[in-house]
Amino acid sequence: MNALSPALAKKRVLVCVGSGGVGKTTVSATLALRAAVDGRSSLVCTIDPARRLANSLGLHTLGNVEAEVPASALAPLGVSPKSRLHAMMLDMKQTWDDLVTRYAPPDKRERILANRFYQSLSSALAGSQEYIAMEKLWELRTQRDYELIVLDTPPTAHALDFLEAPNRVLDFLDNEAARKLLTPALAAGKLGLSLFSLGSSYMAKTLSKLTGAETLQELANFLLAIAPMNESFRDRARGVRELLEAEQTGFVLVTSPGRERLDEVVHFHRLLKQHRMEVVALVVNRVHPMPRPELWEEAKQLTPTRRAKVEETLRELEVLAIQDAAGLAALRAACPETPLIQVPRFDLDVHDIAALWRTGRFLLGDEQLPPPPPAPPVDAERLREPRLPD
């Protein structure tokens, strides 16, 4: 039992956020697995999972379809799940296409789908991945009845992208000014001048990445064709926003213990709070545990050369453990009100169900890392300072 246990038992949506490579997909899959085993029907919506992990969840083809993780995949755990686990891989392009197919006016649908700007949307428009992940979450929450949905999120370079991208994308799609400006400007061949009047906005930045009047014409066509959908885009964005702020939703902020990530994660944490989103836990993943003392004893039994090698490795591991402990202490001091959960760095990647299960034991507090190494000795100078009277 730890801070994640009640969230796993009660929340309807858990969103795993953090920068790329820290373990978001791993943590997302672990949480959904654990919730299903403990009795809540769960879905993990993954983004770009490692192939082996995807296979072990029974996801063999990319697509937006949810698949039940077969009982045979869970059998090696030796536990009988009390509920069912589903998994899917978010396919961004397919989600956009579904959205257009569902909401575009019939006479515009084909034109949008065939539009060249639309086809490069995910690369041309910063934040469109974050936007579409939120769209999918909204669809799943409103149209399915999983007790828990765990959403993995795209690797986000900046925390702000994640929180503000949806709005920026909406503003882009619904940019009256740009629409009015582009079409006549293109016709008159005065685009450069008109772009200037957009200043340094997100719209102007995106446009400046596109070159060639033809591409811009495509963009203008796209904006015109998509305009009738904007009302429904906005409605759902409002819905998503409410869902993210709701009591039923929690965020799990994943990070690694390195000092180099500290500023970033503290910043992300602050932004989530500012946006009124509940951070249920800060998961510090891949923490190097202090090597067990027995290992030093065992090394003594080895031949001198082997012993020297093993001891060198143990010393290196100690240094890493001490560095991680310092990172953790700094994080704890910076975000004192949020529970901090440590998951050790395993020797192997977390690419199968058994490894997810093991990760879950740490995430949910069944197992804990040994206490951090003692603080470094007080330095000699300070010891020489005269003691102040009590």
Ligand X SMILES: Nc1ncnc2c1ncn2[C@@H]1O[C@H](COP(=O)(O)OP(=O)(O)O)[C@@H](O)[C@H]1O
CB nearer ligand X, residue 134 or residue 356? 356
Kindly state whether residue 25 participates in binding Mg ion, applying the rule CB under 5 A: yes
Alpha carbons 107 and 381: distance in angstroms, whole number: 80
Return the number of other C-beta atoms located less than 10 Å from residue 84's C-beta: 15
In three-state secondary structure terms, 390 is coil
CB nearer ligand X, residue 37 or residue 355? 355
Sole binder of ligand X in the list 22, 140, 148, 282 (CB under 6 A): 22
Kindly state whether residue 25 participates in binding ligand X, applying the rule CB under 6 A: yes
Alpha carbons 258 and 290: distance in angstroms, whole number: 15
Alpha carbons 132 and 166: distance in angstroms, whole number: 8
Kindly state whether residue 95 participates in binding ligand X, applying the rule CB under 6 A: no
If you write DSSP's letter for every residue of 159-216 in order, what string do you get? HHHHHHHHHHHHHHHT-HHHHHHHHHHHHHT-HHHHHHTTTT-HHHHHHHH--SHHHH
From the list ligand X, Mg ion, none, partner contacted by residue 70 (C-beta under 5 to 8 A by kind): none
Residue nearest to Mg ion (CB): 25
Kindly state whether residue 136 participates in binding ligand X, applying the rule CB under 6 A: no
Alpha carbons 308 and 313: distance in angstroms, whole number: 9
Kindly state whether residue 28 participates in binding Mg ion, applying the rule CB under 5 A: no
Piece in contact with ligand X (CB under 6 A), picked from 111-119, 288-296, 305-313, 341-349: 341-349
Kindly state whether residue 24 participates in binding ligand X, applying the rule CB under 6 A: yes
Sole binder of ligand X in the list 84, 241, 270, 345 (CB under 6 A): 345
Residue 226-265 contact track with ligand X, rule CB under 6 A, x = bound? ----------------------------------------
Least gap, CB of 338 to ligand X (angstroms): 19
CB nearer ligand X, residue 277 or residue 355? 355
Residue 347-366 contact track with ligand X, rule CB under 6 A, x = bound? --xxx---------------
Alpha carbons 335 and 266: distance in angstroms, whole number: 7
Piece in contact with ligand X (CB under 6 A), picked from 173-181, 216-224, 329-337, 338-346: 338-346
b/e per residue 171-198 (b: at least 16 CB within 10 A) = ebbbbeebbebbeebbeeeebeebbeeb
Kindly state whether residue 255 participates in binding Mg ion, applying the rule CB under 5 A: no
Which residues of the chain form beta strands (DSSP E)? 13-17, 42-46, 67-68, 85-89, 148-151, 249-255, 279-287, 340-344
- Residues near ligand X (CB under 6 A) are 20-26, 50, 155, 285-286, 343, 345-346, 349-351
- Residues near Mg ion (CB under 5 A) are 25
